[in-house]
Chain A
Amino acid sequence: MKYAYYPGCSVKSTMKEYEESAKAISKVLELELVEIPDWNCCGSIDAIYSFKPLYAVALAARNLALAEKMQMDVTTLCSACYYALARTNKILKEAPGIKSKVDDALRNAGLTYNGGVRVRHFAEVLLSDTGLEKIKEKLKVPLTSLKVASYYGCFMVRPPNICNFDNAEHPKRLDELVETLGAAKVDYYGKTRCCGGSLDITDEEIMLKMSRAIFLSAKSAGANCMTTACTMCHLNLDAFQKNVESRFDIGIDLPVFHFTQLIGLAFGIEPKQLGLNRNCVSPKKVLSSTVAQP
């Protein structure tokens, strides 16, 4: 199966390993991710939108216009990009005033968008199209040493009329994936509680407090690692983990995997191919000897 792949800015820089692992497992599962040629920033959910809303929508629409030419569903790894692109269709449909201005802008950029490009999160593509059965078939190394607290974050499940990967209050699809890979799932409070990603730069203190709550909850429920499906969430929980530890003088030590990395490990793929050495919090301790060490 082929998909129009929208990378988003993060996976090309701070989240390189997310794309690396996604590409690695796609190969095994015979999925082809065709990068949208000349894609641009998704327009952001809030960062640009609050400042220049029309421009933000036009940016998102440009990507959809480029994808439309490819005649495939769009899939992305970042939940925030996913929402930014997915809501564009709704905005253009419901606000004809905005649509006409965006159409003008696209025309000025030499493009048209007719609406109707389906935007899907990569996790949803894997779980709905490929399916847990097929993933199970390719399983080589059950991840029995892992007790995984799956973190869904905001935009996989909210707002429910656009982002409906799973139930907004009690999601379980990533947990089902975790169990399929042979690991133990951990039920904890905070699966969908915001990590403060959008406040990373402007309100660090607040963001650190929010992430801390998630860590404490996952830890007290017995998790020894976490998994995410979004670049911003991963940044907060992995890259900023040390900051949370130092700011509040606590120990957390929870390695955070991209869910694609977990699948990759279970498929027996080389950790280097999955970019595991790029994760800030080292997963060495939790990976048993059966799993190849990064």
Chain B
Amino acid sequence: MSQKPSVGIFICHCGGNISDTVDVARVKETIGTLDQVKVTETFEYLCSNPGQEMIKNAIKEKGLERVVVASCSPRMHLDTFRQVVKSAGLNPYLLEMVNIREQCSWVHDDKEKATNKTIALVRAAVQRALYLEPLTPEKLKVTESVLVIGGGIAGIYSALELADKGYQVYLVERNPSIGGHMAQLSKTFPTFDCSACILTPKMVSVAHHPNIKIFTNAEPILVRGFSGRFEVRIKVKPRYVDIQRCKACEECAKNCSVEKPSGFEEDLVQETAIHIPFKQAIPNASVIDKDYCLYLTDFLAILGPPGSRGVCGRCQKNCKSDAINFRQKDELIDLKVGAIIVSTGFSLMDSKLVGQYSFGFHPDIITNLQFERLMLQGLHKPSTGEVPKKVAFILCVGSRSEATDGYSSCCKIGCMTAIKDALLLDKAVPEAEPWIFYTDVRAYGKGYEEFYAKAREHLTTFVRGRAAEVIPNGNSLIVKAEDTLLGKQIEEQFDLVVLSPALIPNKDTKELADMLGIDLGPDGFFLEAHHKLRGVETKRKGIFVAGAALGPKDIRETTMESMAVASKVATFLGRGETSISPEVVYLIPERCDLCGTCVDQCPEKAITKGKNEVTINPISCNGCSICVPTCPKEALDLKNTTEEQMIAQIKGIAEGEGTALKIIAFIEKRTAYGSADLGGQSRRTYSPEIRIIRVPSVARLGIKHVLHAFAAGADGLIFVEGDDSTFKEDKVRERVILFKKDLGKFGIQPLRLQHSITTLPQYEKTLSLFDDFVERVKKMTPINKEKREELKKYLEGEKIVA
């Protein structure tokens, strides 16, 4: 492509929004004299039909090869004008937009300065446009299947939704049955639906659905590939029972001589080493706990037939379906999926860590989950078997705590569970006396306040005060607390004490997050891409999270999130193909020396180094360009923000006369740029010395660009990055410090470089920074011409490494 393409420039009046401040006629006149400019037009509303027609005709009639539109923010109309250009037969990436409204006419009062700034911005755009290249977004077929990790209510629901939409779903669950914690509950609040009754039909649907394949006793161990085309390896651990043959007759369990505490029954009841996880388990088949099975724990016995060495094997001998197989091994299965949903749920904190409640020192001090099981076993005191009448429910055990073993979040379901349990107790036991010790009653959801009222109607005793101690006293328990509303200490004796432990992330959450390449939040649960707008997505395209894996929540919120995530996945996979932005990093192979520095930089793991070459996966690359300046050989570049394009743009802005001072602000294209636009929409004026260059990320910038800027005439540089960028604050700071050091070596005051991180609404912070910076640079001794010449020579002569 020749560097001498013909350029057409179109300047919008925007009905006065621009032209009232910027002298568009002068701009047209000045720009029209530039090299390669064939057409310069101004128009009232370029985005209108006649405006668009004008551009189209100019392209066709004058054979324009590049188009520059100076108007509102590209965040408004980039796609509009790209369509215009495309319909005139020109590649849409040969269009350059200049923001002279939100970032110029709306924020400056001085007409002369605004016009000069516009001229500089448009000139820079023209010079960049000369280096633009045609690009085509790639279309890629996606794998139309989904992996759901975690078979609790969240996983089950999203699996059903997606399977009904026609997708193949693989549901992977680490326990021997799906169902999760919801399968352990008795009734749900506030409707008193029987938990198993609303869950098990869904579990059965999952089992019978032609589009869902369930893997139990299984976990993912390796995730490769990229969004739309993941490759996941699953490890299925042996259950020593053939699911196809097992009839769930339980003859095996009847003959097993080993007993162990039942996980499903929360250690309240014993079960045999071989057992069906629970009555409605799916798959409905037995499983052997290998840590307790006599046969499996005698490693020599495993080598011989059952019964040899006198060791057990009775289950196998009594199984009429020949379903027991002690020789089962780990199975590795490779799956190809287009999207992954993480729905791994939560764990309960170990109440022993809050020692004041003496959990573990008396059998009648239990957790709320254990209470659920007791309700279904027939409510009784674990110690004596008697029916408990006076029961204390202690809330906030480990939640809302900044202490070492505590958890800072609220568990969200503690209050409602206690109220529900109090009402159930009231119904089940005549003369029951439930007491709830609370700090704040959180009854925030639909029907919850009314539920709370019901508990009061049933004369549940509420004590406002987090219980201080539980003291075992023979077969009873004493609870000490301060009734903070009455202002006095109380001591009451109870038959049973039920604790509400904090809901915490599963132990290996970090491991799974690392495997998937997604983040955890400060609370240790998976982190969503945006708190409100992207609540079930993660930082990686194609990987979603739903349910308690994101943080404590109730069942209603969980099913809502499951439906949301199914919708998002369907959108993602829906068209059967995905469009990949062409604005990706590419390799210049002749410069590459295979040092491999770039490989670890990539947050999407898009760069791989083979024996003879480095490959960049254009589909995984998200264009953040963190890798580009780190290449010691400058062998990497970014499409549509290439080195040549950037340097041309920088020179275009910094050269020429105009305001006494020129400050270039490099702004990250989504959040930070959006913030500056917001400032413009709010008409917040700031110094016209600021000229903004939009970059994919501040990570794109190397020392080379910094030096070019000063050489060309800039007096100060500001980097602004969005807070949700993959290039985090500490990395930004690191780079800036290095650049400052280098500036010092060249005799330029390091304080001429500044950086900031912003959120979208924080425009005030950024724009005040602009103003302050301009004031400070004004006071500095100006960079003299000789220094700039020196820099220019240096840049021409040597290859500079970032």
Is A100 part of the binding interface, using a Cβ–Cβ cutoff of 8 Å? Answer: no
Interface string of B327-357 (1 = CB under 8 A from A): 0000000000000000000000000000110
Specify which chain A residues have a CB less than 8 angstroms from the CB of B473 in the assembled complex. Answer: 189
Task: Look across to chain A and name the residue whose beta carbon is closest to the beta carbon of B361.
Answer: A170
> What is the bound-complex CA distance between A168 and B353, given in angstroms?
11
User: Nearest-CB distance from B82 to chain A (Å)?
Assistant: 60
Cα distance, A45 to B623, chains bound together (Å): 61
Residues of A near B358 (CB, < 8 A) are 169-170
B471 is an interface residue with CB less than 8 A from chain A: yes
| 5 nearest A-B pairs in the assembled complex, by CB-CB distance | A169-B355, A189-B471, A169-B356, A170-B355, A167-B355
A-B contact pairs, 9 of them (CB 8 A): A167-B355, A168-B355, A169-B355, A169-B356, A170-B355, A170-B358, A170-B361, A189-B472, A189-B473
A169 vs B356: C-alpha distance when bound (angstroms)? 6
B478: chain A residues at CB < 8 Å are 189
Q: Which of B457-499 contact A (CB under 8 A)?
A: 471-473, 478
Give the A-binding residues of B (Cβ under 8 A). Answer: 355-356, 358, 361, 471-473, 478
Interface size class of A (residues with CB under 8 A): under 10
**What string of 1s and 0s marks CB contacts (under 8 Å) between A155-180 and chain B?**
00000000000011110000000000
Q: How far is the CA of A189 from the CA of B468 in the complex (A)?
A: 14
In the complex the two chains form, what is the Cα distance from A199 to B738 in whole Å? Answer: 61
Residues of A within 8 A of B (CB): 167-170, 189
Contacts of B361 in A (CB 8 A): 170
Rounded to whole angstroms, the CA-CA distance of A191 and B363 in the bound complex is 21
B361 to chain A minimum Cβ distance, whole angstroms, is 7
Residues of A close to B355: CB separation below 8 A: 167-170
Interchain CA distance A168-B471 in the complex, whole Å:
14
CB distance from B405 to the nearest CB of A (A): 10
Measured CB to CB, the closest approach of chain A to B468, in angstroms, equals 11
Q: How far is the CA of A168 from the CA of B404 in the complex (A)?
A: 14
Q: A170-B355, A170-B358, A189-B471 are in contact. List 4 more A-B contacts (CB 8 A).
A: A167-B355, A169-B355, A169-B356, A189-B478
For A170, list chain B residues within 8 Å (CB). 355, 358, 361
CA distance A189 to B480 in the complex (A): 12
Interface centre among B355, B358, B361, B473 (most CB of A within 10 A): B355
CB distance from A78 to the nearest CB of B (A): 25
| Chain A residue with the shortest CB-CB distance to B472 | A189
Chain B nearest CB, measured from A197 CB (Å) = 20
Kindly provide the distance from the CB of A128 to the nearest chain B CB, expressed in whole angstroms.
Answer: 21
Chain A nearest CB, measured from B470 CB (Å): 10
Report the Cα distance A28→B358, complex, angstroms. Answer: 38
A189 contacts across to B, CB distance below 8 A: 471-473, 478
B473 to chain A, nearest CB (A): 7
Residues of B within 8 A of A167 (CB): 355
A257→B361 CA distance, assembly (Å) = 27
A169 to B473, CA, bound (A): 16
Residues of A within 8 Å of B472, CB to CB, are: 189
Q: Which of A167, A168, A170 has the most CB of B within 10 A?
A: A170
CB distance from A150 to the nearest CB of B (A): 16
Q: For residue A220, give the distance in angstroms from its CB to the closest CB of chain B.
A: 9
The smallest beta-carbon distance between A218 and chain B, in angstroms, is 14
- Which B residue's beta carbon lies closest to that of A190? B471
Residues of B within 8 A of A168 (CB): 355
CB distance from B404 to the nearest CB of A (A): 8
How distant is the Cα of A80 from the Cα of B212 in the complex, in angstroms? Answer: 66
Distance A263 CA – B714 CA, assembled complex (angstroms): 83
Neighbouring B residues of A169 by C-beta, 8 Å? 355-356, 358
Task: State the CA gap A170–B478 with chains docked (Å).
Answer: 16
Distance of A135 Cα from B629 Cα, bound (Å): 67
- Which residue of chain B is the closest to A217 with respect to CB atoms? B471
